[in-house]
Structure 1
Amino acid sequence: MKMYSNKAVVYPMLIASMLMFTACTSNEKPAASAADPIASSSPSPVVEPSSTPSAAPSAVPSASSKPTPTPSGNVNVTPVSSETTKQIKGMLELAKSGKVAGIEFAAETKLIDDVEKAWGKADHTDVVASSIYATYSKKNAVIGYNKGDQIIDIRSSDPKLQTLTLKQIEEALGKPSDTKVNGDDTIYIYKASDMFQLKFIIPKSSGKVDHISVFDTKHSVNNMAG
């Protein structure tokens, strides 16, 4: 039997070991697994912030988006002027003393003789129940007096009063204490004092004041006079 030397066996084993070592230390990277991210071959674009605001609605509503409130709820309503309110309140204040603006005589304290001395005789007189009413057209006034010649009713139809409406009166003085109807006229009555009433006479046909009256409830017999 032929014997081989040890060198013949060692060299092939050494060569095989070197080949295996070379394969393990190779620079070649292992294949990427399915779980590894895949790098892009081109750089990722940089996202610049938008120069315009987002179209999405803001969480806080704009103040301009809220409707402008109106006190009355109706934009067509004209508020009563402070001057008109002052005028109407002034009427009630004068009525507490039995007076009407523009007429110098006071109910209860003056007589029809005082009127005739200052203004002369009336254009005409009318008897209403137990009272007499003297009309002075140029003065826009009617003076009512009782059988003792004591003034018990002063009426004014001054054109300045004839622009007033019930709405304006109620906004200045509140609701009337009493209301009466006489034909086409509605009489709105306000208590000025324990003795005197302030009345606003408003025809249904016009809806505005025709005349006002300061009425003495103590010395008159005909309390229904308007």
Structure 2
Amino acid sequence: MMKRYSKQAVAYPMLIASMLMFTACTSTEQPAASEAAPIASTTPSAAVEPSTAPSAAPTASTKPASTPSGNIHVNPVNSETTSVTKQIKEMLELAKLGKVAGIEFAAETSFTDDVEKAWGKVDHKDVVGSTIYATYTKKNAVIGFNKGEQIVDIRSSAPKLQTLTLNQIEQALGKPADTKVNGDDMIYIYQATDAFQLKFIIPKSSGKVDHISVFDTKHSVNNMAG
């Protein structure tokens, strides 16, 4: 009986020692996941890498360039060409009415009295064939009348006309219907209507317009001439 008791007495201390060792081992383990430090992700972040594809070459814009203020930049040369073309085309449109820009009278429908009332006394008069030409220097104009005192020719030598060239005229209106020579002058004729002609008189010496003329072909010879 005493021998069996001794074996149990020995066994209990060994069991207690084993439990203490187990407890000590578990105390050295890592804390629970809720207390552990965040675990760094092993998945590499989606870093943006520089593209190895060549960049597209800039294409030439067909739109006018914008200035810093946002306004469209217009090429001065193109703008000037457009303005001149418009000016010349407007001359032809006025010629269809028997008129010249800057002069309020019209061939066929206006008379000598109309001009004298508006512009006063003429500077001087010249007779060419059956037409009487009245010169108004300050107006840069010469007005031609038939013998019935009806206006048949309106000529203007306004400074803005005297910068024009044949090339500019042909770009706007095409080739003239007729060309005549008068001494040093080349006369380029465009038919505005059946009755009215638009003429550009260009001296060979300058190559630029000296004056223009809107000429009434139907009434230039008046039946009252006798």
Q: TM-score range by the shorter chain?
A: 0.5 to 0.7
Structure 2 CA distance for aligned equivalents of residues 130 and 205 of structure 1: 29
> What is the SS of the residue equivalent to 1:104?
coil
Which ranges in structure 1 are unaligned for 5 or more consecutive residues? 1-62, 65-77
> What is the SS of the residue equivalent to 1:81?
helix
Q: TM-score, normalised by structure 1?
A: 0.63
One-letter amino acid of the structure 2 residue matched with residue 144 of structure 1:
G
Higher helix share: 2
One-letter amino acid of the structure 2 residue matched with residue 147 of structure 1:
K
> Which position in structure 1 is the counterpart of 2:129?
129
**Aligned pairs, number:** 147
> Which position in structure 2 is the counterpart of 1:178?
178
Report Cα offsets for 1:66-107 as digits up to 9, x if no partner: xxxxxxxxxxxx767100000000000000000000000000
> Which position in structure 1 is the counterpart of 2:44?
none
- 1:119 paired with 2:92, answer no
Q: Kindly report which structure 2 residues correspond to 1:47-126, keeping only aligned pairs within 5 A, or say none.
A: 81-126=81-126
One-letter amino acid of the structure 1 residue matched with residue 121 of structure 2:
K
Q: Kindly report which structure 2 residues correspond to 1:159-170, keeping only aligned pairs within 5 A, or say none.
A: 159-170=159-170
> Which position in structure 2 is the counterpart of 1:191?
191
- 1:149 paired with 2:149, answer yes
Query: What RMSD in Å do the two structures reach over aligned CA positions?
Result: 1.7
Q: Kindly report which structure 2 residues correspond to 1:194-209, keeping only aligned pairs within 5 A, or say none.
A: 194-209=194-209
One-letter amino acid of the structure 2 residue matched with residue 132 of structure 1:
I
Structure 2 CA distance for aligned equivalents of residues 88 and 138 of structure 1: 23
> What is the SS of the residue equivalent to 1:86?
helix
> What is the SS of the residue equivalent to 1:116?
helix
> Which position in structure 1 is the counterpart of 2:63?
none
One-letter amino acid of the structure 1 residue matched with residue 184 of structure 2:
D
One-letter amino acid of the structure 2 residue matched with residue 208 of structure 1:
K
Which ranges in structure 2 are unaligned for 5 or more consecutive residues? 1-56, 59-76
> Which position in structure 2 is the counterpart of 1:139?
139
Structure 2 CA distance for aligned equivalents of residues 190 and 153 of structure 1: 15
Report Cα offsets for 1:111-144 as digits up to 9, x if no partner: 0110001101110000001110000000000000
One-letter amino acid of the structure 2 residue matched with residue 123 of structure 1:
D
Divergent runs of 4+, >3 A: none
1:221 is displaced (CA, Å) by 2.6
